[in-house]
A and B are shown apart, each in its own frame.
Chain A
Amino acid sequence: MKRKKSARPKLQVQNEKTRSKGVSQWNIAWRRFKKNRAALVGALIVGFVIFLAVFDALVAPFPPNATPGFYTGETRSPPSLKYLFGTDYIGKDVFSQVVYGARSALFVGFASAAIAMSLAVLVGLISGYYGGIIDNILMRITEIFLVIPFLLILLVFLKVITSISPSGGGLSMVVLMIGLFSWAADARIIRGEVLRVKSSQFIEASKALGASKTRIVFRHVFPNVLHIIIVLTTLMIATAILVEAAISFLGFGDAAAITWGQQLQKANEAVKEAWWEGVFPGLFITLLVLGFSLLGNGLRDALDPRLRE
């Protein structure tokens, strides 16, 4: 650490000589991200799925939940030119259903991650910056959420939702539950990072200049932990997609929604007769999760200020 600090002024001088003004942290990160092939592959995969989700009606040959094979007797027929990924037990085109699943997968990923990360950032910032008794209370709550058997409690809570309103809140409720129960680990990481930033000298300096606590937290601490938050969010999206798939697979998801997990659950009843029913939705889950993981790892390498060469 000490050696790095002494090297920093030299680096800045170099930058000023070779580059024109205005090379921001984000510019540097972007330049490094561009060089990372794995990260670009991740971005490409995520971009592809976003494309599917936006233009699903144009890409998919059949409307959602249509059963073109039902009337022609083509139920559970293997992949062919007409049905790229085959048809399922009531003659739905698996390819179309997979395409429509893209939107749910992205919704689950982004929305769950948004909920979980808001909680994690809030708890992490408050706990890390204010310390003392607030920190103590918040960390004890965090620990409960860390040891709670995650999947078990999700199943019980989803059951609660369906019992309170029989129609269920649909996919949004699944999303809410995933978000509410997966913030704890990230809150801890953010808190640790806040503690690290808090002890740096520029915080000391702005305190000495008389900045208010709120100002310090939002103007100085938050921007300096932002890179961690971005990385954790990307990885959280990947986890949320996996969790939703598992919940749907166990039959606790939203049965009315078209998700890849739901498709896998139905396919599991007949893997022997129709492998294509499950193989393709599962492939897309893996692909999208891989995309977000690669993206997250790439962002971690690009954004970490300590890795600067």
Chain B
Amino acid sequence: MPRYIIRRIMYLIPLFFGVLIIVFVASRLAGDPVRLMTVQNPRITPEARDNLTAYYGLDQPLYVQFFLFLSQLFQGNLGNAYAIRGGTAVTTLIGDYAWLTFELQLAALFLSLLIAIPIGIISAKKQYSKLDVTVTTTSLVGTCIPIFYMGIIAIIIFSYILGWFPYGGAHSILPERYPFGSYVLDELWHMALPTAVLTFATLAPIVLLVRSSMLEVLRQDYILAARASGLSERSVIYKHALRNTLIPIVTYVGLYFGAMLAGAPVTETVFNWPGVGRLFVEATTKLDFPVIMGITVFITIMTLIANLVTDITYGYIDPRIRVE
């Protein structure tokens, strides 16, 4: 097993650098941040502009810039932001924002798995029943609604009309507004609506996957054998079928987690959630190269770790993989 893991890691390293090179080159082509910063200053001289360009190291050739970035990266330093939050270190910025992103995504992923797996199983057990048709139709429609649209509708209904939840942000501005004066409760209260929407969006495809995977497993010969040997239906489904049903789910969840992180800009913009996704949108608009690169590094590493964990879990629960 350790050899398998090491081989997988070796395999992911070139992928990581591939992504970095593409994003690095693309972001440098995206425009001149110095011009963007100074465009509103009528008294700026060309010399001052050149000084600023040299200060950020943008006068160097592209490959020199890239190697500087890499050498910093290996020291765990992602540089300082140009303008966001007055030029804070990018690692500090990500440290401050990442947790809020994780909190939302992990809560939604966990909740949707918790809800989707039983629903998918019941739906497969009673294939073509009224319940099954309702579940599959709802899930299919659920996969077609853009998540930001779902968010807008939720905000209209639950924030504006009913007034149950705040319409954005992660915290109340004034500590006096905290429910029962608790910071934690305040955050949970703000989290409720985004988590619910993200859960529903994540839930729909997982339900469909669990259902089809379960149906596939129930058609296998060993299930017939289990039934023939007189096992109860409960034991057939939850002991024999469920384990094999979960194999595709594990792969899916691993890959999906990366997609969820990459989709964070949309979710976080709708709910005004101060996470890395919204930070990325801000950085791209302002051409803040260090922040763009920092978040790309962060999200790519997270995606790769999710892939790695998926591979390892996969090898663990499906013995056929290990043998190969």
B23:A153 contact, CB within 8 angstroms = yes
Tell me the residues in window 264-295 of chain B with beta carbons closer than 8 Å to chain A beta carbons: 265-266, 269-270, 280-281, 284-285, 287, 292, 295
B143:A293 contact, CB within 8 angstroms = yes
Residues of A within 8 A of B287 (CB): 159
Contact of B152 among A156, A251, A278 (CB under 8 A): A278
Q: Interface on chain A toward B: helix, strand, loop, or mixed SS?
A: helix
Docked pose: A227 CA to B152 CA in angstroms: 37
Tell me the residues in window 275-297 of chain A with beta carbons closer than 8 Å to chain B beta carbons: 275, 278-279, 282, 285-286, 289-290, 293-294, 297
Q: Is B140 in the interface zone, CB < 8 Å from A?
A: yes
A246:B146 contact, CB within 8 angstroms = yes
B19:A144 contact, CB within 8 angstroms = yes
A156:B303 contact, CB within 8 angstroms = no
B295:A152 contact, CB within 8 angstroms = yes
Q: Is B304 in the interface zone, CB < 8 Å from A?
A: yes
Q: Is A1 in the interface zone, CB < 8 Å from B?
A: no
Residues of B within 8 A of A267 (CB): 152
Docked pose: A303 CA to B80 CA in angstroms: 55
Docked pose: A238 CA to B146 CA in angstroms: 11
B26:A153 contact, CB within 8 angstroms = yes
Q: Is B124 in the interface zone, CB < 8 Å from A?
A: no
A144:B266 contact, CB within 8 angstroms = no
Docked pose: A77 CA to B147 CA in angstroms: 26
Give how many B residues have a beta carbon under 8 Å from the other chain's beta carbons.
48
- Stretch in B27-35, B43-51, B67-75, B114-122 touching the partner: B27-35
A293:B140 contact, CB within 8 angstroms = yes
A155:B284 contact, CB within 8 angstroms = yes
Give how many A residues have a beta carbon under 8 Å from the other chain's beta carbons.
41
Docked pose: A267 CA to B148 CA in angstroms: 12
Q: Which residue of A lies closest to B261 (CB)?
A: A149
Contact of A159 among B31, B147, B148, B300 (CB under 8 A): B31
A155:B280 contact, CB within 8 angstroms = yes
Q: Is B155 in the interface zone, CB < 8 Å from A?
A: yes
Chain B 175-207 interface mask (CB, 8 Å, partner A; 1/0): 000000000000000000000000000000000
Q: Is A272 in the interface zone, CB < 8 Å from B?
A: yes
Contact of B30 among A151, A163, A268, A285 (CB under 8 A): A163
B26:A250 contact, CB within 8 angstroms = no
Docked pose: A151 CA to B19 CA in angstroms: 13
Residues of A within 8 A of B296 (CB): 149, 152
A246:B148 contact, CB within 8 angstroms = yes
In the complex with contacts A245-B146, A289-B144, A149-B258 CB distance below 8 A: yes
**Shortest CB distance A105–B (Å):** 12
In the complex with contacts A152-B262, A246-B148, A286-B141 CB distance below 8 A: yes
Q: Is A50 in the interface zone, CB < 8 Å from B?
A: no
Q: 15 more A-B contacts (CB under 8 A) besides A152-B280, A250-B269, A279-B156?
A: A147-B303, A148-B23, A149-B261, A152-B295, A153-B26, A156-B292, A163-B31, A242-B146, A249-B269, A251-B281, A264-B146, A271-B152, A271-B160, A275-B156, A286-B146
Counting from the closest, the 7 A-B pairs by CB-CB distance are A163-B31, A282-B149, A149-B262, A144-B18, A159-B30, A290-B144, A289-B144
What would be 7 A-B contacts, judged by CB atoms less than 8 Å apart? Answer: A144-B15, A148-B300, A152-B299, A153-B23, A159-B30, A282-B145, A293-B144
